[in-house]
Chains A and B, each alone.
Chain A
Amino acid sequence: MLRSASLTFRPRLIHRVASLSTRSLGRLPNTQSPIVSKPHFFNSVTGDSNEQIPAFRLLDGTGVPIDGAELPELDEAFARRLLSPDLNFLLPNLDNILYNVQRQGKISFYMTAYGEEATIIGSAAALAHDDEVLGQYREMGVLLWRGFGLDNVMAQCLGNHEDTSSKGRQMPVHFGSPKHHFHTISSPLATQIPQAAGVAYALRRSPERSNSVAACFFGEGAASEGDFHAGLLLASTIPSPVVFIARNNGFAISTPSSEQYHGDGIASRGPGYGIDTIRVDGNDVLAVLSAVREARKRCLEQGRAVLVECMSYRVGHHSTSDDSFAYRARSEVEDRKRIDNPLVRFRLFMESRGWWDAQAEEELKTRLRADVLKAFKHAEVQSRWELSELFTDIYAGEEPWNIREQREELSRLLEKYGEDWEPWKRELQKFKAESKDRVKNRE
């Protein structure tokens, strides 16, 4: 395995250790380290401190396979799926529209995936549909790939009564769906990472689920949180089959990755946890697809975590609450979009195969734009859930006295002031059901 392979790395040294052991202690208590007589500092996982971890790529910037590239098995239909509704156009279209409606004040918040489409869709396509996904927040593409549907996306972002992800309790993009094996997004960074280890351990223990893995997404900024270290440590030590997918998009809000870590990215940490690790060109959808497929395979074979670091670039602002031109030049972003656009790269590849052309693209764009707008228009006019949902799903079983009492207190106040106090009156109109006793226990 991996560990024995590293032992054969310097056979001559091993030999010397063996002969030493007859004369003195050949081995230290808690390590298999060969003994050396010269101080040996090191600061690289490649063995050569001038050399960085290699990045795996299949297609060059113009969509042409690079020398020696072994493309994943790919037929036209699958390639069109990668490119079409669920990837190339839907995501940017949806992003555009939701970004703009946020700007119009119709939703409170939004986060785009501009620039990271290949990382997200390439990973999604490599996973089985029932692999458990624990995302950070920028992984809506995984849900789209799995058929979550535009209406569900819109309902969540608008927080209307069709929002099953959180019943309007969470900010936009905090999706969740057991049916799609997509665990509900929460805003705190990296909390999903140790959870992924527990999820994967449950999969490993369950005969019905033993062919599934957990897939855990996070950014390079989140990897600075303690939970990152806890999660990788657990999934390697206990061990549990998690594919950890680091989206290294260069920025944590405004902080560039150069100020996030001094080492060689996130990939350099994998060997520290004793797990198989790969760095991949995150803007090459086929490379991501291949790498995550292989990672998934190893994960199942070894029953242990694998780390994939996808190098990409966050073309969009961090979120709608952010203006990234305050900390990076507009030209830098424009250059990136032009030189290294993951969508363009894969489209050129498709065209070279004769699977795609300008007309197909135009048709698709038109159709998707119409679909997105239709879903938005439907969602926009829906009411919220009933106000009583404010007090549900807190505890299962008996409702504690404090929740009951507070619910009844709000009910009393609504009855007393709901018709007269304008700010409440206006807000109440947005909720479903007009019954007077709005927060009555529904039992």
Chain B
Amino acid sequence: MRNISSLSRLTTTVTRSTSQIPRTQSCLYWRHISSSSSTRSTAATPNTDSTVSALEPPPAGGHLPSITSSALLKHTREQSLKTPGILWADAELDEARGASSLSFATTGRETRKMNMYQAIRDALSTALSTDDSAIVFGEDVAFGGVFRCTHGLAEEYGRERVFNTPLTEQGVVGFGIGYASMGSKLGDSTLGGRGMGGTAIAEIQFADYIWPAFDQLLNEASKFRYRSGGQFNVGGLTVRCPTMAVGHGGLYHSQSPEGFFMGVGGLKVVIPRSPLQAKGLLLSAIRDPNPVVFMEPKILYRSAVEQVPTSDYTLPLGRAEILTTGSDLTVVTYGTSVYRCEQAIHLLTHPPQGSGIERTVKDALGDWRRGTGKNMSSSPSIELVDLRTILPYDLPLVLRSLSKTHRLLIVHEGPTTGGVGMQIAGDVVSGLALTTREENSIGEDMRRMRKEAFLGLEAPVKVIGGWDTPGVALQYEKFYIPDEVRILDGMLELLAY
């Protein structure tokens, strides 16, 4: 599967990213870089790790070196078309043609190599071309967006539908809420009239700047349907924002604020891991009848490259995905951390020979084998889960996985306290698990699963998140973000417990 030795890979990673840090300290520099680097690579070939010259500044989104070799990305057309859960918009048409969805999917559809910003642009273009009410707006959106996600859309669909807004996040989201509310039902039509579905796709330039709009999201968008007794809704609202760290974003271009949204019932929060996922999940978010905050890990905009189906498709919200199956430990994560977890699992199974890491792994696995009665040749198998939808997240899948593995590790970049990880950990061990009620429903299954998960735990649930510092400190980022070795350490701790 992998040809390069893990050790050399790890070393490369470290040198390369440290060499980039001093070039990008200025915040003002940010926008400058964003636009210049984007002009550079508007061409179809996206940046890959190997194309980065040491003399060039890195793109604003940064690079995630480990990603080029990730087995999680769909590098062939066939893999791409067989993506689990993919729902083709014209599936009914296939049936009419007499072709089963699967056979057509693997024969008749095209894919194209795209990085994540291109896949997002493709999703936005699909939304604009299939829904006349759809508008795309936000700061710097008309020229293509600082991360190029809206590149060319204003020219293609006109400035009435793709436009700049003044610099006011609360205004952008408030405007989107008002626009979306016109999609509320009135008789056989909507308040806005026929064809006015109120599809508002707003962009907040960085997740770090979403706070002025938090009131609009929490007090308005999430409550819109509930407070009006179901008469009004803003289901047409999607708020996109770049999120997570990139190596040089410092306190205000690196945050992962999803934890703050966990208590906002009525809202959905989605974070994709790759181009293919981003297109399908974004189209789902746009068409979902609820307001959705769609956070895009910005380091993946250019780093992640995949074969993405060119036709219209969606991926389900509220459903996590098992990326690698395993029986000894469940690792739940999302966004950029997916690739760090993949790397960490690789380190676990292929520790660099002769290194201290190899000895640590060997010792811990020895304890694990003794504790579980495994024979000396067995090695642990890890189940890697991408949460994808953060709110409401897929606890049933986590519990199903846990009933098999009995050990749970949750990894994310956002701060640990009050974060998504602690929420999941809390849900896994919370008191509801112990209530019993005879009823043949899904609710009953959940209770059984919760109980089994809790009683079956063979180690405490562990959360590896960012530290509870007030943000991601610029020069310290390598030691803030849970990286491969921290994740490895967490896995070993749980296995050897």
Measured CB to CB, the residues of A under 8 A from B are 132, 134, 163-167, 169-170, 174, 176-179, 181, 183-184, 186, 188, 191, 193-203, 205-209, 214, 226-227, 229-231, 233-234, 237-238, 392-398, 400-405, 408-409, 412
Contacts and interface: CB of A to CB of B under 8 A. Distances in A.
Given A198-B174, A198-B179, A199-B178, A176 B232 contact: yes
B174 A195 contact: yes
Given A199-B182, A401-B392, A230 B265 contact: no
Contacts of A206: 182, 192-193, 195-196
A233 B139 CA distance: 14
Given A202-B198, A404-B443, A169 B170 contact: no
Contacts of B170: 194, 226-227, 230
Interface in B238-283: 265-266, 268
Given A405-B443, A412-B435, A395 B193 contact: no
Given A237-B166, A397-B289, A230 B174 contact: yes
Interface residues of B, number: 64
Nearest to B389: A400
Interface string B201-234: 0000000000010011001100111111111110
B288 A397 contact: yes
B299 interface: no
A234 B182 contact: no
Given A188-B219, A404-B442, A412-B435, A231 B174 contact: yes
Most interface-central of B184, B230, B232, B266 (chain A CB within 10 A) = B230
A227 B195 CA distance: 29
26 contacts: A164-B229, A165-B229, A165-B231, A166-B229, A167-B230, A176-B229, A178-B185, A186-B219, A194-B168, A194-B175, A198-B180, A199-B179, A205-B196, A214-B178, A227-B170, A227-B174, A227-B215, A234-B171, A238-B165, A393-B225, A393-B226, A395-B266, A398-B318, A400-B318, A402-B392, A405-B432
Nearest to A242: B178
Given A178-B186, A199-B181, A208 B193 contact: yes
Contact of A197 (B175, B198, B233, B318): B175
Given A195-B181, A233-B166, A405-B446, A393 B229 contact: yes
A229 B166 CA distance: 11
Nearest to B197: A202
A179 B191 CA distance: 9
B305 interface: no
B490 interface: no
6 nearest A-B pairs in the assembled complex, by CB-CB distance: A198-B178, A194-B174, A230-B171, A208-B193, A195-B178, A400-B392
A196 B181 CA distance: 10
A234 B213 CA distance: 15
Given A226-B170, A238-B165, A395-B266, A178 B229 contact: no
B200 interface: yes
A200 B182 CA distance: 9
A32 to B, nearest CB: 20
B437 A209 contact: no
Nearest to B163: A238
Nearest to A208: B193
Contacts of B21: none
B403 to A, nearest CB: 16
Given A393-B230, A405-B432, 8 more contacts: A164-B231, A165-B229, A191-B174, A194-B177, A198-B179, A199-B179, A396-B233, A397-B290
